[in-house]
């Protein structure tokens, strides 16, 4: 099967030329859902929320890929790096942000669309159900810590000062 690859912000998206519409949906929605979160945050002039979304995306992608390469489970189609599902974790990260930051009127549709991404991965034999559930749980947990518990880097204050006689550095958590 002839494939074209596109890499955006740590997510690799595959667009198979002979893909089913459901598979193509999953490839596009994994990025479209988080981008919707970014658009909503910018439209609402919620720049703190935008950075929470961005931070969640970076941490989710890093954790997902670290697990994939550490565990290297076999996919149903025989490929490598099945666990957890990157498509699903990307989609659920955006959905979790929308729900936690803006409420269920944004979250419920985003979660439904994210669940369809997960279903598309299982249906295409790219992942097992456990991969999809793990990707959703991982992304939702990370985004919860950043959005609800405000445990992101934006809540830390960094101070470094240097003069001729001394060097001082400090980090403080802002509640």
pLDDT in tens, 108-167: 999 999 999 999 999 999 999 999 999 999 999 999 999 987 766 655 555 666 666 666
Neighbouring CB atoms inside 10 A of 122's CB total 18
| pTM score | 0.78
Q: How many domains does the chain have?
A: 1
For residue 94, the enclosing domain spans: 3-173
CA-to-CA dists, residue 20 to 24, 36, 102, 115, 128, angstroms: 6, 24, 33, 17, 18
- Strands 156-162, 167-173: pairing is antiparallel
Q: pLDDT tens digits for 1-20?
A: 445 444 444 555 555 555 68
- Which two tokens mark 97? 């942000």
């Amino acid at each position: 099967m002839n494939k074209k690859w596109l890499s955006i912000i740590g997510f690799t998206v595959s667009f198979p030329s002979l893909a089913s519409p459901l598979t193509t949906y999953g490839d596009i929605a994994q990025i479209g859902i988080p981008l919707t979160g970014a658009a909503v945050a910018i439209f609402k002039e919620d720049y703190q929320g935008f950075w929470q979304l961005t931070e969640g995306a970076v941490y989710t992608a890093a954790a997902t890929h670290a697990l994939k390469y550490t565990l290297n489970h076999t996919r149903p189609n025989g490929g490598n790096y099945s666990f957890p599902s990157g498509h699903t974790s990307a989609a659920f990260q955006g959905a979790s942000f929308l729900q936690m930051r803006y409420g269920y009127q944004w979250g419920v549709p985003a979660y439904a669309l994210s669940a369809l991404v997960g279903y598309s991965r299982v249906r295409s034999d790219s992942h097992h159900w456990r991969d999809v559930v793990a990707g959703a749980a991982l992304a939702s947990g990370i985004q919860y810590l950043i959005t609800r518990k405000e445990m992101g880097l934006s809540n830390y204050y960094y101070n470094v000062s240097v003069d001729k006689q001394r060097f001082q550095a400090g980090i403080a958590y802002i509640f």
